[in-house]
């Protein structure tokens, strides 16, 4: 049984993009498109989720993701409660399902969950009552489906279609839940060539089996690309034996104007944030004309509105 879909094929929870049918991905992107103009109006709200309570359940810190989920829920007229569990009951030893049960007893309709453990959102989704939906807002190294979806929305907005694109994902794929979600979405939507570029130590073994081509140099990997997605190099990884230094990483894999010139002249540059300027990306590129990094953030609101609207309409009332 697919935890994410209802028996009649509607979205029930959003936990991962792995295995979600193309029709659902397209439906989310199309719905997000129709939410785009809500942010431009005098009243930046539609009454779709009026009376629904959405709990932002963040067991791991986040600024951008939590804020865009909050704005998205508010634009749908839902009531939003933000819980920063890292600084709350969990430190007092409350089990995760007890937290969920308590919030369900407060008549929650939807949980947006971020957790450092892979599978946390699945765990909660299996536990909640039938009328409650769960959205994975990032679990460990596993998945970050709404980020993957907003990246697809960004690509579609700037490139129009997927079937003629070459997309490169650059950097720390090993630790990146974003990269996994992107790869699943890109292959499902029919992108013919998905590349990953990075040092051997930062690419998972067997990544080819996800349907990507592997490159270990920017020179080879960026040639002919339409879309270049830079991943955040998590500073904490630098302490291990995976990398010599941030400076050396920048020299080989940092995106500079010179390296970007290897891609197609109209290639777009994306980054899920937060950026390490001077580590994985040069400021000149991040702030340059090919960067669509800030539009990604704006689109994230419409995409998260679409996900929440489809979930609220698909759950059994």
Partner 1 sequence: MHASLPDVDPLVAGLADAIAPTLTPDTVIVGIHTGGVWVAERLHAMLHCTLPLGTLDISFYRDDFSRIGLHPQVKPSNLPFDLEGRDILLVDDVLHSGRTVRAAMNELFDYGRPASIRLAVLVDRGGHELPIRPDFTGLTLAVPAHQNINLSRLDDGHLTLSLA
Q: Is 200 in the site for partner 1 (CB under 8 A)?
A: no
**The one among 33, 79, 193, 284 contacting partner 1 by CB under 8 A:** 33
Beta strands 110-115 and 213-215, pairing class: unpaired
User: Does 39 help bind partner 1 (rule: CB under 8 A)?
Assistant: no
Per CB under 8 A, does 74 bind partner 1?
no
* 133-139 sheet: strands from edge to edge: 79-84, 53-58, 110-115, 133-139
Nearer to partner 1, 52 or 115 (CB): 52
Confirm or reject binding of residue 5 to partner 1 (CB under 8 A).
no
Q: Which of 36, 81, 262, 297 binds partner 1 (CB under 8 A)?
A: 36
| Share in percent of the chain as helix, strand, coil (round to 5) | 45, 15, 40
Are residues 74 and 304 in contact, defined by beta-carbon separation less than 8 angstroms? Answer: no
Rounded distance between C-alpha atoms, residue 203 and residue 169, angstroms: 11
Of 42, 92, 239, 240, the one binding partner 1 by CB under 8 A: 42
Question: Is residue 10 involved in binding partner 1 (CB under 8 A)?
Answer: yes
Does 41 interact with partner 1 (rule: CB under 8 A)? Answer: yes
**Which residues are paired to 56 by β-bridges?**
82, 112
Return the residue matching tokens 């539609």.
46
How are strands ordered across the β-sheet holding 213-215?
213-215, 193-197, 166-170, 227-230, 268-270
- For residues 52 and 179, the answer to whether their CB atoms sit within 8 Å is no
Q: How far is the CB of 178 from partner 1 (least distance, A)?
A: 27
Residue number with CB closer to partner 1 (34 or 87):
34
> How many residues contact partner 1, by CB under 8 A?
23
Task: Give least dist CB 297 to partner 1, A.
Answer: 21
Complex with partner 1: residue 25 or 260, whichever CB lies closer: 25
Residues engaged in binding partner 1 (CB under 8 A): 10, 27, 30-31, 33-38, 41-43, 45-48, 309-310, 312-314, 317
């Amino acid at each position: 049984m697919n935890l994410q879909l209802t028996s009649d094929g509607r979205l029930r929870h959003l936990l991962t993009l792995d295995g979600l049918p193309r029709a659902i991905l397209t439906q989310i992107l199309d719905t997000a498109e129709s939410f785009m103009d809500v942010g431009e109006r005098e009243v930046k709200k539609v009454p779709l989720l009026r009376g629904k309570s959405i709990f932002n359940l963040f067991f791991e810190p986040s600024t951008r993701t939590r804020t865009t989920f909050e704005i998205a829920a508010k634009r749908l007229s839902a009531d939003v409660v933000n819980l920063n569990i890292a600084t709350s009951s969990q430190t007092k030893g409350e089990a995760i399902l007890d937290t969920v049960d308590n919030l369900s007893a407060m008549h929650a309709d939807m949980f947006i969950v971020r957790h450092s453990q892979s599978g946390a959102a699945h765990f909660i989704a299996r536990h909640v009552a039938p009328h409650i939906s769960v959205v994975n807002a990032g679990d460990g190294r596993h998945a970050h489906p709404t980020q993957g979806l907003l990246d697809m929305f960004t690509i579609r907005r700037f490139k129009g279609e997927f079937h003629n694109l070459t997309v490169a994902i650059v950097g720390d794929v090993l630790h990146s839940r974003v990269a996994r979600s992107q790869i699943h979405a890109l292959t499902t939507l029919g992108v013919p060539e998905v590349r990953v570029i990075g040092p051997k130590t930062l690419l998972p073994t067997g990544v080819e089996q996800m349907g990507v081509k592997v490159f270990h140099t920017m020179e080879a990997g960026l040639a002919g690309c339409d879309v270049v997605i830079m991943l955040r190099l998590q500073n904490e990884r630098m302490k291990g034996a995976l990398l010599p230094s941030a400076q050396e990483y920048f020299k080989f894999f940092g995106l500079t104007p010179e390296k970007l010139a290897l891609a197609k002249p109209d290639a777009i540059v994306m980054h899920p944030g937060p950026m390490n300027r001077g580590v994985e990306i040069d400021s000149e590129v991040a702030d340059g004309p090919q960067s669509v990094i800030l539009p990604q953030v704006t689109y994230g609101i419409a995409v998260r509105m679409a996900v929440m609207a489809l979930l609220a309409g698909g759950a059994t009332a």
